[in-house]
Amino acid sequence: MNNWNPADLSDLRGRTMVVTGGNAGLGYFACEQLAAAGATVVMASRNEQKAKAAIKAIKALIPGADVEFQELDLAHLDSVRRAVDVLSARGQVDALLANAGVVGAAGRQQTADGFELQFGTNHLGHFALTAGLLPALTAARGRVVHLGSISHRWVRLNTADLMPAKYSNPRAYATSKLAVMTFGFELAARLRLLGSPVKSIVAHPGLALDMLTPLRPGIGLNNTSPAPQRRVLAPVSQGKDTGAWPLVRAAEDPDVDSGSYCGPNGWFQLRGHPATVVAQPHARERNTASRLIDVSQDLTGVRLEL
């Protein structure tokens, strides 16, 4: 299925998909595509007003779409705990698409719990959410999809100093995404060792830009870039609707194995159809991964029961 697209989605009626950060960008289009296939989509977002606008946009395109809002602020561990309680109470969760995240912060900022914003939101918030939802995912023989990034190529994890005092915006983002990926691959290895039916898959969107993304009412997109800029970037990038394809394929395709890395199949993984692609070896380094999980448990107070 090298030319996979949303038309290849199986019938997802009766399956519940939780998508974090589903009110905008990649998360919005993942919600739209999953809803079109009949899934019950839980749009987990910190901003109810924006989420409801996104849900309205989906239902305008897909009459009868089953999409609902769940409050979730990944930068606040109390909010994560509340969301885990609510989502667990509803029963099985077939997929958790851990998409939400902070993409860049010019100056150092902190989460409500005092963590550097990008690491605290992108990795620690999702770590706590994933650990809390494992029983519901297990009941459904479900899967977790972790949102990676090609930026993981350029950094390494120092588990003794994951949030250095000297702040660099690009490095903080890349470090957070490498942590997400390292956790995702290690989770797959541990689940497999225990014989768990849950899959853990890492996916990334390539270079997905607003300027190449179709508009949706009420969904903020900056796609007013000058035509020359579009012409230069179009051959090496894609819209966020297409960038969502690897995430959606990872969330539903039974042929995608646990521990896989799913991304665009084009040059440098910047654009193309979703396929199994290569992650850098350091993202799969298990000693580093074990230390990362130990640190994440200590910081969040949440145990990964594996």
Catalytic (active-site) positions? 173
CB 113 within 8 A of CB 120: yes
Residue 269 has phi, psi (to 5 degrees) of 60, 30
* Tally of residues, the chain: 306
| Residue 305, token pair as written in the block | 């029961």
Residue 73 has phi, psi (to 5 degrees) of -115, 105
| Residue 52, token pair as written in the block | 């409801």
Q: What strands lie across the sheet with 66-71, from one edge to the other?
A: 66-71, 40-45, 16-20, 95-98, 143-147, 199-203, 261-264, 274-276
